[in-house]
Amino acid sequence: MKEKTMLTDLYQLTMNAAYHDNGKADETATFDLFIRKLPQDWGYFIANGIEDAIDYITNIEFSNEDIKFLEQQEFFKPAFIDYQKTFKFEGDVYAVREGTAVFGNQPILRVTAKRNQAQFVETALLNMINYQTMIASKANRVVNAAKDAKVVDYGLRRAQEESAAMKGARAAYIGGAIGTSNVKAGKEYGIKILGTHAHSFVMSFENEIDAFRAYVKTFPNKATLLIDTYDTVEGAKNAAIVAKELEKQGDRLSAVRLDSGDLCDLSKKVRKILDERGLHYVNIVASNDLNEYKIDDMTKNGAKIDGYGVGTEMITAKPVAAIPGVYKLVEDNGGAKIKLSPDKKTYPGKKQVYRVTGADGKFSHDVLGLEYEGIAGTPLLEKVVSQGKRVTKRRTLEEIRQHALESVEKLPDHLKQVRVTEQYEMKISDGLNELIERLTQQYGNENNGGEQK
């Protein structure tokens, strides 16, 4: 993660230069990273990118090349450049466990360190956590809509370049996808790789059934045949012929794939064709610009689909272009801080999120309170970095995925619908309410606009 040190906005460096120049760099400051609100129809987020954030924050180091680049910027004073040469993170970080279901205005991560250190990490942390949280959450919405059908990430070719494709595949897996078409993601993360063949393969042969026979010759027990190149119903019949030929040699066709037309209606027709020929074991998978809304409609209309390959709209979270994750100062040497800007008011002080479970075993509500209040419930923020060193073991991808699915399972059912109209309740503790009122009165009276950054 040392190569990510310069992954920052310029204003982190200019602020730190000014802090250094004015004797404030070594003051202690605490920042919260949180997401302001949920997109329309969403009931929750799945916190993601936490492990990457810990790796980044514990390995910050300016290389000689980095220092040379800063020296070339004429607006930085030599004393500040020298100060950056020994920069490293020496503070504490609290974070929710990666894969935890979280909600708007809840701290996902809290940083306490010297002001220059706590300030500097803002941009990279938001870059890592915002995108990965968005994709994991979107993927879980798709998985929920699919019910018993499986979901596979097909997003590589539509992702915003390699990094998004890789982190997106990982996030989708955490969100509940069972595999990916992304071979590199399979290699690096250990995610199962799955796929079929393209229409061009069918078109490369004189006729469709010859293409099918050629493909199953190479993959006699793992083939999924794409049957809509010319006519889906006829394609299903040709696939059935090939499947029966495979049976005679002791092999089995795995699945057929639909990629165009009325997927729900076609799945029923194809299922009938396969079943009439004794091919109950052959699965039907579908693709074609799918999202949670389309899948939900097909599920409710009785589609005979066993798996969905979801690409563009899952890897990009379309139509949600980005989620509003922010990083705000909540406390420093001068005490708790609050921002009073309209629609951007923040919760001051060092806080903890307490999750309360009801008698039915489902999460009933959360309480956002001050760290020292000792509120009943399960605290979500755990210490992950102490004095610049990681103090928790890095969890495996499988552990993160399992935690995510278990966390979502305990949410109230109405939050897992495709169209969520009733949001989860987050209560504010008495102590936090009192602090908010006091600071609101204090800064309001001072008429400074509340712009605490």
**Amino acid letter, 115:** R
Q: Which residues of 160-186 are buried (b: 16+ CB within 10 A; e: fewer)?
A: eeeebbbbbbbbbbbbbbebbbbeebb
Interhelix angle for 208-218 vs 232-248, to 10°?
40
Average pLDDT over residues 417-428: 96
Cα separations in angstroms, 364 against 98, 356, 377: 21, 6, 11
Domain 2-135+320-446 has CATH 3.20.140.10: yes
pLDDT in tens, 386-405: 999 999 999 999 999 999 99
Omega prior to 319 cis, within 30 of 0: yes
**For residue 196, what pLDDT band results from cuts at 50, 70 and 90?**
very high
Task: Name the E strands within 179-277.
Answer: 179-180, 224-226, 255-258
**For residue 342, what pLDDT band results from cuts at 50, 70 and 90?**
confident
CB atoms under 10 Å from CB of 25, counted, come to 19
Determine the pLDDT at residue 447.
53
pLDDT in tens, 20-47: 999 999 999 999 999 999 999 999 999 9
Of the listed ranges 55-59, 253-257, 416-420, 444-448, the least confidently predicted one is 444-448
Between CA 105 and CA 347 the distance in angstroms is: 8
Contact between 115 and 27 under an 8 Å Cβ cutoff? The reply is yes
Does 369 score more than 70 pLDDT? yes
156 is written with which tokens?
């590589």
Spans of all domains in the chain: 2-135+320-446, 145-150+190-315
Determine what percent of the chain is predicted with pLDDT higher than 90: 95
Does 355 score more than 70 pLDDT? yes
pLDDT in tens, 228-253: 999 999 999 999 999 999 999 999 99
- Classify residue 220 as exposed, middle or buried by CB count within 10 Å of its CB (0-12, 13-18, 19+): middle
Determine the pLDDT at residue 439.
95
Name residue 226's beta-bridge partners: 257
**For residue 282, what pLDDT band results from cuts at 50, 70 and 90?**
very high
Between CA 404 and CA 175 the distance in angstroms is: 7
Between CA 440 and CA 453 the distance in angstroms is: 15
Determine the pLDDT at residue 337.
96
Task: State whether residue 252 is helix, strand or coil.
Answer: coil
pLDDT in tens, 95-135: 999 999 999 999 999 999 999 999 999 999 999 999 999 99
287 is written with which tokens?
């693709």
Contact between 389 and 60 under an 8 Å Cβ cutoff? The reply is no
Determine the pLDDT at residue 126.
98
Average pLDDT over residues 351-364: 97
Contact between 100 and 403 under an 8 Å Cβ cutoff? The reply is yes
Contact between 45 and 102 under an 8 Å Cβ cutoff? The reply is yes
Determine the pLDDT at residue 446.
63
Does 451 score more than 60 pLDDT? no
Does 348 score more than 90 pLDDT? yes
Task: Give residue for tokens 């029966």.
Answer: 244
Q: How far is CA 290 from the centre of its chain?
A: 18
Contact between 33 and 347 under an 8 Å Cβ cutoff? The reply is no
pLDDT in tens, 56-104: 999 999 999 999 999 999 899 999 999 999 999 999 999 999 999 999 9
Average pLDDT over residues 272-283: 98
CATH number of this structure's domain 145-150+190-315: 3.20.20.70
Average pLDDT over residues 152-177: 97
In whole numbers, what is the pLDDT of the chain averaged over residues? 96
Determine the pLDDT at residue 3.
79
Determine the pLDDT at residue 444.
77
Does 423 score more than 80 pLDDT? yes
Average pLDDT over residues 203-220: 98
Does 301 score more than 60 pLDDT? yes
